[in-house]
Amino acid sequence: MQIDISIIIAVYNNTSWLKMIFNMLQQQTYKAFEVVIADDGSSQESVHAIEQMIKEVSFPVQHVWHEDNGWQKDIILNKAVVASKGEYLVFLDGDCIPDNNFVKDHYNLRQHGMVIGGRRMQLPQKLSDMLTPELVANGFLKRKTLYLLFCKERHSENVLRVPLRIRNILGICKPKKGGLLGCNFGIYKSDLLKVNGFDERFLAPATGEDTDLEARLARVGIPVYRHSFICRVYHRKHKRVERDPDPNIPIFEENNRLQIGYTPHGIKKQDK
């Protein structure tokens, strides 16, 4: 099977939501992709559930796992990048369900020397809590479009999809520079390797995980362009983790002060 795109999904347990993602990936309008699960130490029970899911889907899946040693998302993402077979990478978080045109949209927008930033639509709490893999597989989210459009608890810009052809004809929905979201972006692997992937010193879900990557990419001439009404994902409602003090800030500030593009703390480690 031809693999044009590797979809790298960051997960930690919560196999129910991964199953929902798989159910939507089964319905994608573009098929030449693989999935690489970047598993930051899920339990053995979850690992067994993932192994069963892999047997049930039509697309190829790699499961990249390491032991649970605290939050090490950037480390497992780098391992998933190394394992990936596609020349183009799309990053997705395990609490984000893509719509059925997600892969096609990213594929059509891809461009060397540029990051394609998708957006997320925050689901209302009630909808987040009631979702099941069966509902997602049966088109429940699509049937809720009007409800989501007028619901107060949502980001309306991503409820509706405007196809690329219509955007180009009408000259609307032009991308804006900046604003990388780690839960939904696409980049050529060769471009990501120019900055040596993610900085593995970030060991908390706080400042720097995606903002650092965006800043380092910009320093080597690879900007982020964020798109609305396309490359859409539905994001699970949950409480935001706030850390005070933020352990990532000193690392982020150091990279900014030194104007680091290629990090020595990424995929290829600096020789000692």
In a domain, 264, yes or no: no
Task: Quick: pLDDT tens for 149-160.
Answer: 888 775 656 788
The whole-number pLDDT of residue 155 equals: 60
Instruction: Give the whole-angstrom CA distance, residue 171 versus residue 206.
Output: 37
CATH number at residue 72: 3.90.550.10
Structure tokens at 157: 């810009």
In a domain, 175, yes or no: yes
In a domain, 266, yes or no: no
Task: Quick: pLDDT tens for 221-250.
Answer: 999 999 999 999 999 987 766 666 899 999
Task: Quick: pLDDT tens for 59-111.
Answer: 999 999 999 999 999 999 999 999 999 999 999 999 999 999 999 999 999 99
In a domain, 262, yes or no: no
pTM, to two decimals:
0.95
The whole-number pLDDT of residue 272 equals: 44
The whole-number pLDDT of residue 157 equals: 62
CA nearest to 182, candidates 208, 204, 143:
208
pLDDT tier at 207, thresholds 50, 70, 90: confident
In a domain, 272, yes or no: no
Q: Which domain holds residue 147?
A: 5-257
Compute the Cα dihedral for 217, 32, 29, 51 and give only its sign. Answer: negative
Q: With H, G, I as helix, E, B as strand and everything else as coil, classify residue 5.
A: strand
CA nearest to 132, candidates 18, 47, 208, 44:
18
Total domains, the chain: 1
The whole-number pLDDT of residue 241 equals: 63
